[in-house]
Structure formats: C-alpha cells, structure tokens
Amino acid sequence: MRRAYIVGISVPAAEFRARLAEIPGAVLVRELPPARVVVVLPDGAPAKTLASLPGVTSVREDRPERLLRADTRDRP
C-alpha cells in the first residue's frame, strides 16, 4: 500500500523533485503553500529515506480524516 506524506522543504519544488528521483517509485503529487509538498512513497519505502533528502525540513504522514454523515454529526 502506498503512503502519502506532507513534506516541508527549504528548496524550490523543482529542485526537490529532482532529489526525490533518488527514491524509486516516489512521486511528488502536488505543491502546498507555504513550502510544502505532498509525496507518495511506494510500499516498503521508509519515511526516513524521504526525511534524509537534502532540503527536507519536516515529514508527516498524510492521514485523511473520515467524513461523518451530516445526519450523525450532531448526535451524542
């Protein structure tokens, strides 16, 4: 299963994308302001590999929250 990460960067996204090519199967999905990107790593690629790239300032797993149905939101 692939995992998505929000990555803080201190270099331009184009430069980071070139460095990301060092991780086989890693994909930069989109840029986020300010100075963040979404990266998807293939199954088995550890986040510490991503964190070790030059220009990375932070890494956190992107875990989408489950949306509640409108009719159950206000119930105790």
Give me the mean pLDDT over the 5-11 stretch.
97
Q: Token digits for 56?
A: 């990375």
What residue type is assigned to position 75 of the chain? R
Decide: helix, strand or coil at residue 71.
helix
Residue-wise pLDDT tens digits, 19-55: 999 999 999 999 999 999 999 999 888 999 999 999 9
Residues 73, 33: Cα–Cα separation, whole Å: 30
Select from 17, 6, 9 the least CA-distant residue to 35.
9
| pTM of the predicted model as reported, rounded to 2 decimal places | 0.81
